[in-house]
Amino acid sequence: MEQKVKKPTEEKLKPKLFSVMKNYSTEQFIKDIIAGIIVAIIAIPLSIALALASGVEPQQGLYTAIVAGFIVSFLGGSRVQIAGPTAAFATIVAGIVASEGMDGLIISTIMAGIFMIIMGFCRFGALIKYIPGTITSGFTFGIAVTILVGQIKDFLGLKFKNSPVETVDKITEIFRCMDTFNYKALLIGLLSLAILILWPKKLEKVPASLIAVLVCSAVVKLSDIDVNTIGDLYSISSAPPKFTLPEVTFARVKALVPNAFTIAMLAAIESLLSCVVADGMIGSKHRSNMELIAQGTANIGSALFGGIPATGAIARTAANVKNGGRTPIAGMVHAVLVLIILVVLMPYASMIPMPTIAAILFIVAYNMCGWRNIRNTIKTAPKSDITVLFVTLIFTVVFDLVVAIGVGMVLAALLFMKRMADVTEAHAWVDIDDEETDPDNILLKKIPQNTRVFEINGPMFFAANDKFRYMLDDKNIDVLIIRMRNVPAVDATGVESLTRIVKRCEKHNVKVVFSHVNEQPMHAMEKSGLYKRVGKDNFCSHIDTALVRAEELEKSISAAKA
């Protein structure tokens, strides 16, 4: 009796919240509340710091944590994902705000959200895995470098004469303005760094960033030393998020498509990476397409309520898991608590020293840079992968993420095609020495006298086209067998190469027999008309059948000549 093969079930477009609530308990509710409170305490200083790094007002980072954080938890495809502003967007947002203004950022973020929703409904969640890890590592390290460079000014208390946007220009401006160095700012920055590095070793439950903010704010306030605080540079509002709609024109939308695409791709990649990390921590499986829809909706909501682009935050998600959060309720609690703190305590944020913000971002940059991955890549990966990594890294720092990802993908694709072409080959059986364990060893087969057998190994595509040109160098034969058991796929150029071989054989009265053609190549040959041209009888399922067919053809050719 034939056994039916069970097809894998298609991923549901259903928020995880609606699935986990079926078996929700009071005990888990208490754990989720505790986890949500701790994550909120972690998120507040980070959200403020990332907003300032992005060139926007400090409360806008909190708006993002509130709106995007709640929507992603409510609609998302992960049980424990925490969303909000992340370091990955800091340089992108700063660049858009500097060149296009806040309206440009809002439009770009809304468009990015729409792109992600479309990606989710089109079930593109699984396609993210086709972005090479070397590109992800390269632009992540590059973003970390740009964040670090961007915070040197506040860490050293420098006063810039210009307001550079590009990283290279910022480095130039740092050296130009070193005469404005403020050693008091450096001392506060070093104190902040010391707390951020040493505190987790003693008491991990209480966020180090919160302690650094409280201690350094108190030192600056009580000693009245000359160090810039957030209140000295920015106006701070404790008003809750308000709905804002920018003026939209077709020309503006068209101009902002590249920025929107970059935000969408980066948000999708980082969110799904965060989901994968979280899955490993709790033994669950996220719904990638639902997560994309949630992230898209969250970015639209964040933009319309005064926030900035958001994505899944790996560090905050990990903190949620470590503190007992196991359902989206924890993320929703985190968002509500951030809103309460915004309304009640936001004016006190004006006392936070800028060097402390810089120190927090230094730690964020260090944690995201993934230097261990890069070290391992350099040690173990082929030169082509290392090249892609460093090209992406350098282009991220020197130019921007749009250029870096574009160049990285093109370079990775070209190098991949070269590798595939290098492993593709076509050789005559008489030229090789098969292992004795191979049941199809040439020594075990009887090849008709006027027959030549060629075997193709690897995909037949345009980059490997030159490998097949010599296949009919010997024209003094009657039959050419082309064995394709190790050809998983062919493209249009591969089919064209085979057609050329067949035509050349016809010109010299040589019959062509194909052996063991796989499904995709066979479909391509049928579609192109090559199958019909060669004839059904000349497509054999095994080399033994092909050799029998060759013998029959030789006999008919000999009879015709006689």
Domain boundaries, the chain: 27-371, 425-561
Residue pLDDT, tens place only, 129-163: 677 878 888 888 888 898 899 889 999 999 988 87
Question: Dihedral (C-alpha) 16, 17, 23, 27: value to the nearest 10 degrees?
Answer: 120
First to last CA, the chain: 53
* pLDDT reported for residue 140: 82
What pTM was computed for the model? 0.75
Rounded to an integer, what distance in angstroms lies between the CA atom of residue 349 and that of residue 46? 12
Residue pLDDT, tens place only, 359-407: 998 998 888 888 888 888 888 778 888 899 999 999 988 887 778 878 8
Tokens of 207: 């966020």
Sign of the alpha-carbon dihedral angle for 21, 22, 23, 24? positive
Q: How distant, in Å, are the alpha carbons of 256, 535, 549, 550, 552 from that of 556?
A: 69, 16, 11, 10, 6
3-state helix, strand, coil in the chain (%, to 5): 70, 5, 25
Rounded to an integer, what distance in angstroms lies between the CA atom of residue 490 and that of residue 474? 25
Residue pLDDT, tens place only, 312-346: 998 899 889 988 999 999 999 999 999 999 999 88
* pLDDT reported for residue 440: 59
Taking Cα atoms as reference points, which of 240, 252, 210, 207 lies closest to residue 107? 252
Q: Considering the chain, what is the average pLDDT of its residues?
A: 87
Q: How distant, in Å, are the alpha carbons of 227, 469, 480, 523, 525 from that of 499?
A: 76, 12, 13, 14, 9
Mean pLDDT along residues 253-282: 90
Rounded to an integer, what distance in angstroms lies between the CA atom of residue 348 and that of residue 230? 10
Residue pLDDT, tens place only, 61-106: 999 999 999 999 999 999 999 999 998 888 889 989 999 999 999 9
Rounded to an integer, what distance in angstroms lies between the CA atom of residue 225 and that of residue 243? 39
> Which DSSP helix (H) or strand (E) runs through 488?
none
Is the predicted pLDDT of residue 434 greater than 50, yes or no?
no
Q: Of the given ranges (56-70, 304-318, 460-474, 475-489), which has the lowest mean pLDDT?
A: 460-474
Q: Of the given ranges (35-44, 313-322, 435-444, 460-469), which has the lowest mean pLDDT?
A: 435-444
> Which DSSP helix (H) or strand (E) runs through 453?
strand 451-457
Taking Cα atoms as reference points, which of 106, 100, 116, 98 lies closest to residue 54? 98
Cβ proximity of 335 and 73 under 8 Å: yes
Rounded to an integer, what distance in angstroms lies between the CA atom of residue 73 and that of residue 334? 10
CATH code of the domain occupying 425-561: 3.30.750.24
Taking Cα atoms as reference points, which of 63, 49, 6 lies closest to residue 335? 63
Rounded to an integer, what distance in angstroms lies between the CA atom of residue 453 and that of residue 470? 13
Taking Cα atoms as reference points, which of 349, 378, 383, 396 lies closest to residue 146? 396
Residue 302, Cα to own-chain centre: how many angstroms? 22
Rounded to an integer, what distance in angstroms lies between the CA atom of residue 300 and that of residue 303? 5
From the CB of residue 550, how many other CB atoms can be counted at a distance below 10 Å?
Answer: 26
Q: Which residues pair with 427 in a beta bridge?
A: 455
Single-letter code of the amino acid located at 467: K
* pLDDT reported for residue 435: 47
Give the 3-state DSSP-derived string for 172-210, with helices as H, strands as E and coil as C.
Answer: HHHHHCHHHCCHHHHHHHHHHHHHHHHHHHHCCCCCHHH
Residue pLDDT, tens place only, 506-529: 888 889 999 999 999 999 999 989
Is the predicted pLDDT of residue 5 greater than 60, yes or no?
no
Residue 543, Cα to own-chain centre: how many angstroms? 44
Mean pLDDT along residues 263-285: 88
> In this predicted model, which residue has the larger pLDDT, 164 or 296?
296
